[in-house]
Structure 1
Amino acid sequence: MPRVRELEVFRLVLPYGRRSESLLVKLTDHGGMTGWGEATAPGGKTWSKLEESLAALLIGVDWEHPDTVPSGDPAVDMACWDLWTRMRGVPLAEAIGGTRTSLMATVRLAPDASVESLVARVNQQVCAGYGHVTLDIRPGWDVEPVRAVRQTYPALPLAVDCGNAYTDLGQLVALDSYGLGVIERPFATSDLYTHAALQDQVAASVAVEVGSTAELDDYLALRAARVLLLRPAAFPSLSEVRRAHDRAAAAGWDIQCTGGQGAGLARAATVAVASLPGCTLPCDVTQPPRQNQIVTPIVDASAGMIAVPLTQSGLGHDIDEARLRRLAKESFHA
């Protein structure tokens, strides 16, 4: 039974890319075993809440399972799962019900300076071994780049991510003639009826991202999509992530795990979740920059595939604590 004797919390502003923020939690039990968790883009309120309440919640308290720790915070929940599985000598993927040993990856490509440049980047990734590509599109950068990539690669499995940027169906329905597999996040999350209307008019599967099973249930009731974009960092706990997976799979939906931000721990949890049996679509954890990661080995794809760490307990990665402490903008210890 875990009993935490020491905790540390770190706030990182990651030095590359968009300089995103992460919050890392380290739990140490009385035997010296440690567990780590990460929340990406946690915000100031999360930091304040942790500083005020985390010690009282965890220090010296016996708990039998991560579900019995009522933190409501994904970093704390992940750290509890990491500690709990390390104490039992089992991989996190196995503990939550994962069955896959490796995952197909998609590579995500942002809008480019020109269509020709984008096609060249797609060629580079295909030559590197990727068998699936996701194009980020926006109004004004949609039909032409998709047409150009499809003409160059007629058989390449292709998805588009709209970033919730569209308000009507027109351009997205036009894209359906280019053999897309998935149209991700087309409209604002709250606009369920427009999602449903699009799904009725296109052969591609509409994919939605939610942060709770209640939101997912609304989409399921309207048949407003056919794919769940499952981002573990958006849920308060891994058990809630598993419940969302189970509901989507039971409804016959495909599931894609996504989560390329952060310092590596959140990515590692995404890989563990992506090993669940219902996660049928290529995993998206390859979003750069790799230099932000403080875990070894880094979480990344090789020749379009991602290994699930099933020979190591917990998250399956070591932490570069020296680099973490150099990057930390704030920390507290209890």
Structure 2
Amino acid sequence: MRIDRLRLFDVTLPLVHSFETSSHRKTGLNHLLVEATDADGRVGWGEIATPSDPYYGSETTHTAWSIAERYLVPAVLGTSWETPDELEASWGRIRGHEFAKAGFSIAGWDLYARSTGRSLSSQLGGTRTAVEAGVSLGIEPTVDELLAQVARQVDAGYKRVKLKIAPGWDVEPVSAVRAAHPGLDLHVDANGAYRESEESTAVMLALDGYGLTMIEQPFAPRDFVAHARLQAVIDTPVCLDESVVAIDDLHTMLALDAGRVLNIKVSRMGGLAAARTAHDVARDAGIPVWCGGMHEFGVGRAANVAISSLPNFTLPSDVSGSDKYYARDVIVPPVVATAGIVQVPTESGIGHEVDVDWVMQNASRTLDVSAAAG
């Protein structure tokens, strides 16, 4: 196969409900979409779901566009490849910039699956026809407003709710939600907002008493030792997210017992091939995994659904319906969750078509490069 044309779209969509984490509040999302066209005119789509600001990680929409334009487009355009793994090898010299790589990875996998007439799930080795979705809720102005949000999602059929926490917003909201929903699959995510101390350990020990499924990324991404020390004193599994960017990081987590659950994000790990490898390593180590999200538009969300169909994704994933985040998504049909369950598409590729006109209406800039143009 050979990709002869690449288009990038810098797209912004408003959120139906603002979302606050330990670092900031956002009312809309700005992601990059990648359209890859092969020599036979087939098209594959990918999404670079980078945050606009360097709070989750070091990448931003601005840096991703620069890396894509200067390095990834030249590496991919006109290169011959037989499998998506070979395509990903074309940018092997580029260090870091996993989000940018992931967008091209998804586009390549989508294109390849369409060329074989298979679904992306099938191409990746998925075994499920449906995946259980959970929802992620941000920090609200008051506990009562958080309780209203939780009730709304539970009424919509979601059986797992993740709460964002931060110093000063942790035990009280968790206690209130647990009291209102005693049997709810509940977990918390700090996005690395805490630093190891007697005070933070006391908070984690208090949270340990609420029957949480996991405490996700309480400490800084590189602090495996602090996570290991915490895991040694609490029963609740520690889940790592930002800490595991490469497979070597996963091996470090396992060696130190720094976590007993893994959040696999396609974007954070640089694409579908790396995400699948992480799934396999965790499976062999007896570590359950789930697919985290970055509030992806429909393209990235569809890729998340596909990877979540692999057998060791045994915990609900952040693949909730498009309507939870966007009034109108960029794909047709949108991702739909019914009673907290999302069906895995059986159509070729990601199983959705991109609404190019809607993409163009919401794009602030585009890049269009063909192999013939050099």
2:29 corresponds to 1:20 = yes
Report the CA distance between 1:242 and its aligned residue.
0.9
Q: Return the offset for 1:54.
A: 4.7
Match of 1:96 in 2: 124
Residue-by-residue CA offset, 1:191-223 (whole Å, 9 max, x unaligned): 111111111111111100121111111111101
Q: How many residues align?
A: 332
Cα 1:237–1:129 change in 2 (3 A) is closer
Query: Who is 1:189 aligned against?
Result: 221
CA distance, structure 2, for counterparts of residue 139 and residue 45 of structure 1: 30
Distance in 2 between residues matched to 1:115 and 1:153, nearest whole Å: 14
Partner of 1:111: 139
Output the CA distance in 2 between the equivalents of 1:3 and 1:172.
51
CA offsets 1:156-183 (integer angstroms, 9 cap, x no match):
2211111211123110111111111111
TM-score by length of structure 1 reads 0.93
Matches within 5 A, 1:172-211: 172-209=204-241, 210-211=244-245
Given that 1:164 and 1:189 are in contact with CA atoms closer than 8 Å, whether structure 2 keeps it comes out as: yes
Secondary structure, in 3 states, of the residue corresponding to 1:256? strand
Is 2:14–2:326's contact at 8 Å kept on the other side of the alignment? no
Q: Which residue of 2 aligns with 1:215?
A: 249
What's the CA shift string for 1:73-124, capped at 9, x where partnerless?
A: 1111111111110010001111111111111111222222332332233222
Quick one: which amino acid aligns to residue 362 of structure 2? Answer: L
Deviates more, 1:122-131 or 1:13-22: 13-22
Distance 1:15 1:123 in 2: 23
Moved over 6 A (4+): none
User: Secondary structure of the residue that 2:319 maps to in structure 1?
Assistant: coil
Correspondence list, 1:72-87, <5 A: 73-87=101-115
Seen in structure 2, the aligned counterparts of structure 1 residues 322 and 219 have a Cα distance that, compared at 3 Å, is: same
TM-score of the superposed pair, with normalisation by structure 2: 0.84
Kindly indicate whether the alpha-carbon contact (under 8 Å) linking 1:33 and 1:87 is maintained by their aligned counterparts in 2.
yes
Point out the more displaced range, 246-255 or 45-54: 45-54
Separation in 2, partners of 1:176, 1:136:
16
1:235 to 235, 260, 269: 269
State the AA in 1 paired with 2:12. V
Structure 1 partner of 2:351: 316
Kindly tell me: are residues 71 and 128 of structure 1, through their superposed partners in 2, closer, same or farther at Cα, counting changes over 3 Å? same
Q: Which runs of 5+ in 1 are unaligned?
A: none
Further displaced range: 259-268 or 272-281: 259-268
Q: What secondary structure, in the 3-state scheme, does the structure 1 residue paired with 2:33 have?
A: strand
Q: Please, which of 241, 244, 247 is the counterpart of residue 278 of structure 2?
A: 244
Alpha-carbon separation, structure 1, partners of 2:155 and 2:351:
29
Aligned to 1:8: 7
Contact 2:166 2:190 in 1 (8 A): yes
Please tell me whether the aligned partners of residues 263 and 292 of structure 1 are also in contact (alpha carbons under 8 angstroms): no
Task: Give the letter for the 1:282 counterpart.
Answer: P
1:21-71, Cα deviation, whole Å (9 max, x unpaired): 211111112222111111112533332333234554344432101111223
Give the % identical residues: 40
CA contact (8 A) 1:71 1:77 kept: no
Are the equivalent residues in 2 in contact too, given 1:15–1:292 (CA < 8 A)? no
Mapped pair 1:46 → 2:68? no
Match of residue 41 from structure 2: 32
2:341 pairs, out of 305, 316, 323, with: 305
CA contact (8 A) 1:260 1:285 kept: no
Q: How far did residue 299 of structure 1 move? A: 2.2
User: Following the alignment from structure 1 to structure 2, what is the Cα–Cα distance between the partners of residues 263 and 193?
Assistant: 35
Q: Which of 308, 313, 320 pairs up with 1:274? A: 308
Q: 2: distance between equivalents of 1:109 and 1:139?
A: 16
- 1:259 is aligned to 293
Q: Counterparts of 1:105 and 1:169 in 2: how far apart (Å)?
A: 30
Matched, 1:71 2:91: yes
| 2: CA distance, partners of 1:114 / 1:47 | 37
Give the aligned partner of residue 95 of structure 2.
Answer: none
Instruction: Write the deviation string for residues 229-267 of structure 1: whole angstroms up to 9, x where unpaired.
Output: 111011223111111111111111110101142322111
Provide the rounded CA distance (Å) in 1 between the counterparts of 2:146 and 2:178.
12
**RMSD (Å), alpha carbons:** 1.8
Q: More displaced, 182-191 or 253-262?
A: 253-262
Paired letter, 2:178: R
Q: Conserved in 1, the CA contact under 8 Å of 2:247 and 2:278?
A: yes
Call closer, same or farther: CA 1:38–1:14 in 2, change over 3 Å: same
Q: Could you list the runs of 5+ residues in structure 2 that have no partner in the other structure?
A: 19-25, 51-59, 93-100, 370-374
Counterpart-to-counterpart distance in 1, 2:229 and 2:363: 46
Instruction: Tell me how far apart the structure 2 counterparts of residues 290 and 138 of structure 1 sit (CA, whole Å).
Output: 26
